[in-house]
């Protein structure tokens, strides 16, 4: 259960505000912060969208779409797993873990991202852990509850789910990547800072970086672009590094302030002493333009910031007919897999021993 305050109306307001992590329709009153916190937000449904896809996953005819439950000391998590076809005996494939946003589940994120189609073509597993409505009424990951330890417990439960899936499936433990949308993106970066040596890449789409919120109160401020002094991301042993981070952030996001994207990319870079290179603009056809900045140290990529002009709080390049999706944006799923596969190749090359 979420931590309750002495004022039940304040708690309800914060919960509703945090649930807006994946909704572009919520607008909070701007007269005063106090008034905003005690007034239920106005919600307008986007036209011609569905909160839940009713059509079967397009990739179910190719490969396998598996349901499962993983149990651990931090609790049990349901999940869906996409397994590509034609895995040969002794073969080990990469794994991409995808964390959904609020009001979503595994099927929703698979539908909007179409990541399984890429996985079928490029041959990798995709794991979709699911948040329980008992842990959060709107199925948001509780990424901000670090002061109480609840966020860390959820991160560890996701990590235990990855453990069990890796034991059961033909997965290469040296090629693991993590990605998430909104609250899922925030949880993804938190999980990586707790287990930095386990992952080779992480992608945060429309989320908030770790260390800038420690409760529902500070999470509300972070969503509006107000940040307190953040904690160090991780204490790394000598010679170890954070996995490379890809940040995808829309400039028209009215739910998560667009300033959160650049802040997270620079914070990640500062941990490794990386410097930004010259920004470049990428645009394909009539899709939104993306401004991309790489942060490197000694030629090694530490973080990449991809700011998409005109994108709101939605999966960039997502499937049409799905909520929290904008087909006009550049293909975030393709960007995430390309980013991860490059990090897999770099790590493998670095591990090759002479002779």
pTM for the model stands at 0.82
Q: Which residue has the tokens 């970066």?
A: 189
Q: In this predicted model, what pLDDT tens digit does every residue of 289-347 receive, in sequence order?
A: 999 999 999 999 999 999 999 999 999 999 999 999 999 999 999 999 999 999 999 87
Whole-number percent of the chain with pLDDT over 90 = 70
Residues 117/59, Cβ–Cβ less than 8 Å: yes
Q: How far is CA 162 from CA 134, 199, 267, 289, in A?
A: 21, 11, 26, 35
Burial level of 78, CB count in 10 A (0-12/13-18/19+)?
middle
Q: How far is CA 194 from CA 155, 268, 338, in A?
A: 8, 14, 24
Q: How far apart are CA 318 and CA 177, in angstroms?
A: 20
What pLDDT is stored for residue 228 in this prediction? 60
Q: Which 3 state secondary structure label does DSSP give 211?
A: coil
Q: Long-range contact list for 66-70, CB < 8 A, 24+ apart?
A: 68/165, 70/160, 70/161, 70/163, 70/164, 70/165
**CATH number of the 63-84+92-351 domain:** 3.40.50.1820
Domain definitions of the chain by residue range: 63-84+92-351
**Please, which pLDDT band fits residue 351 given cuts at 50, 70 and 90?**
low
Q: Which residue has the tokens 């901000």?
A: 144
**Please, which pLDDT band fits residue 270 given cuts at 50, 70 and 90?**
very high
Strand partners, 224: none
Give the burial string for 145-165 (b: 16+ CB within 10 Å, else e): bbeeebbbebbbbbbbbbebb
What pLDDT is stored for residue 302 in this prediction? 97
Instruction: Choose between 262 and 228: higher pLDDT.
Output: 262
Q: In this predicted model, what pLDDT tens digit does every residue of 236-259 receive, in sequence order?
A: 777 789 999 999 999 999 999 999
Q: How far apart are CA 202 and CA 188, in angstroms?
A: 7
Q: In this predicted model, what pLDDT tens digit does every residue of 204-225 receive, in sequence order?
A: 999 999 988 899 889 989 999 9
Q: How far apart are CA 125 and CA 95, in angstroms?
A: 5
Q: In this structure, are strands 171-181 and 93-99 parallel, antiparallel, or unpaired? A: parallel
């Amino acid at each position: 259960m979420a931590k309750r305050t002495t004022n039940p109306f304040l708690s309800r307001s914060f919960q509703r505000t945090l649930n807006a992590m994946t909704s572009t329709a919520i607008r909070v009153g701007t007269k005063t912060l106090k008034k905003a916190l005690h007034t239920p937000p106005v919600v307008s449904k986007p036209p011609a969208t569905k909160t839940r896809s009713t059509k079967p996953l397009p990739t179910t005819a190719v490969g396998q779409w598996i349901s499962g439950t993983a149990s651990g000391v931090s609790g049990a998590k349901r999940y869906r797993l996409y397994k590509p076809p034609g895995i040969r005996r002794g073969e080990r494939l990469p794994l991409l873990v995808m964390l959904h946003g609020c009001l979503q589940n595994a099927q929703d994120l698979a539908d909007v991202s179409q990541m399984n189609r890429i996985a079928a073509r490029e041959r990798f597993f995709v794991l979709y852990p699911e948040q329980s409505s008992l842990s959060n009424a709107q199925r948001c990951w509780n990424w901000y509850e670090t002061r109480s330890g609840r966020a860390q417990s959820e991160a560890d439960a996701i990590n235990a789910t990855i453990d069990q899936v890796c034991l059961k499936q033909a997965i290469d433990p040296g090629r693991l990547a993590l990605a998430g949308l909104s609250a899922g993106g925030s949880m993804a970066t938190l999980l990586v800072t707790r287990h930095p040596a386990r992952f080779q890449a992480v992608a945060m789409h429309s989320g908030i970086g770790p260390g800038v919120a420690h409760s529902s109160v500070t999470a509300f401020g972070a969503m509006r672009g107000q940040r307190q002094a953040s904690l160090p991301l991780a204490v790394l042993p000598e010679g170890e590094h954070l996995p490379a981070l890809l940040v995808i952030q829309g400039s028209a996001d009215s739910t998560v302030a667009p300033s959160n994207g650049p802040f997270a990319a620079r914070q990640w870079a500062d941990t490794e002493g990386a410097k930004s290179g010259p920004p470049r603009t990428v645009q394909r056809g009539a899709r939104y333009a993306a401004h991309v900045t790489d942060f490197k140290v000694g030629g090694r990529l530490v973080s990449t910031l991809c700011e998409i002009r005109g994108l709101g709080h939605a999966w960039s390049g997502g499937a049409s007919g799905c909520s929290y999706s904008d087909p006009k944006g550049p293909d975030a799923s393709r960007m995430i897999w390309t980013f991860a596969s490059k990090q897999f190749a770099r790590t493998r090359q670095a591990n090759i021993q002479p002779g």
